[in-house]
Structure 1
């Protein structure tokens, strides 16, 4: 259960970069960035570094609580390091969604509402908290194709031992796709706004 909760935490943590971006944009901070001789993506790189640190801090706290109540990762320290690396990659990819929302939506509250509205059904209709075998057929089919299920499965495999390369590649598919698609879109929206 704990590896799945880590994926869930990273997904919901990613919303805050979009909220912060919306706030900074409304206060004119990004207008000042445009006047500086800097790489156009550097303000977003700063947001992503902040996201990575937020993900690592949250994951460390959750892991410490899990260890305190008896969870023991069977793959040991290397499994935990691999799982945290996967979390960073997942958080990086998902973060682009909320950066784009932060650029397009004027108020941080709306970014948060829309972000959580997107994430809740997708995250909770996954194998993070419930075994898909206990679900109705239509829902278990959705869960089997849900990228958050792939991420949770890879996370469990990394921390519990026995992960396969295909599970890791499936877990990285959505974050990689989102990064390739949304990083250039972010720059395009930022430069046109």
Structure 2
């Protein structure tokens, strides 16, 4: 009886010794690795549901071709001073492509929030929040995964633009600098739609609010026409619009002008978006049941 009792008391101790050996424990994930893991999950979703790339493949081509040949003859003459016709369209291509490049990436940032809202409504993020990982990793990873979608959309816009005659004076360096800056801005802007997605109860509501914000930001700006051609109040809004600042900086970089003031202003907008909407998103996320 004594020997049996000693074995029974020793067994849990041996088990604890095995379970609690530090060398056998997996190292906890750090914020970077956790975020990259969730970002990889977002890419796997694209692999299994490739039709969700429709917005970054067909939409950029449609917007570029439609806006160029519908408005190029009239707006192009105002932009370049050329006569209406082929010369005006060619001049408008040089003006429009950087603007549509920025508009497309800004518009598709909305889908980050829609995808997040869909996952939350299915209860997937309830499981994620129970895991012992850096809490913001689930949101940061989703945003990082969407950078691939943004990159694909940007490449399509530039390829279509080159086919249509777009020739940036800044060369490859200017295009790459503009691309990187726009990806950074798109990542920071996605935090706005993350907060919207967490606040709205349905995907349709999140889309409605996102479009309500995006439409004036993208269309009342310098994307399609110079702000000088707009009436007073509209012009004031367009010049104050942060999208106009981003588009202006993109045009400068692609033209070979590296204006430190413009780049700094865009980065300030990026910092404000993250500082304001990042904590708001996390507060809502932590309290969401």
- Residue 113 of structure 2 corresponds to 18
User: What are the residue-to-residue correspondences of 1:75-94 with 2, within 5 Å?
Assistant: 75-94=170-189
Q: Paired residue for 1:132, among 209, 227, 251?
A: 227
**Pairs aligned (count):** 193
Q: Paired residue for 1:116, among 211, 216, 228?
A: 211
Q: Paired residue for 2:192, among 97, 113, 126?
A: 97
Render the CA deviation track for 1:95-141: whole Å, top value 9, x for unaligned.
00000111111111111111011110121111111111111122222
- Residue 49 of structure 1 corresponds to 144
What residue ranges of structure 1 are gaps of 5+ in the alignment?
A: none
Q: What's the CA shift for 1:71?
A: 0.4
RMSD: 1.1
TM-score by length of 2: 0.65
Render the CA deviation track for 1:73-111: whole Å, top value 9, x for unaligned.
111111111011111111011100000111111111111
CA contact (8 A) 1:14 1:91 kept: yes
> Is 1:60 matched with 2:182?
no
Distance in structure 1 (CA, Å) of the matches to 2:216 and 2:282? 29
- Residue 7 of structure 1 corresponds to 102
- Residue 279 of structure 2 corresponds to 184
CA contact (8 A) 1:96 1:178 kept: yes
TM-score by length of 1: 0.96
Distance in structure 1 (CA, Å) of the matches to 2:150 and 2:172? 18
Render the CA deviation track for 1:140-162: whole Å, top value 9, x for unaligned.
22211111110000000011112
Distance in structure 2 (CA, Å) of the matches to 1:163 and 1:131? 20
CA contact (8 A) 1:150 1:171 kept: yes
Q: What's the CA shift for 1:12?
A: 0.8
Distance in structure 1 (CA, Å) of the matches to 2:276 and 2:227? 30
- Residue 155 of structure 1 corresponds to 250
Return the structure number with greater relative CO, CA threshold 8 A, min gap 6. Answer: 1
Partner-residue secondary structure (3-state), 2:270: helix
Q: What's the CA shift for 1:28?
A: 0.4
Render the CA deviation track for 1:35-94: whole Å, top value 9, x for unaligned.
111110111112111221111110000000001111011111111110111111110111
Q: What's the CA shift for 1:186?
A: 1.4
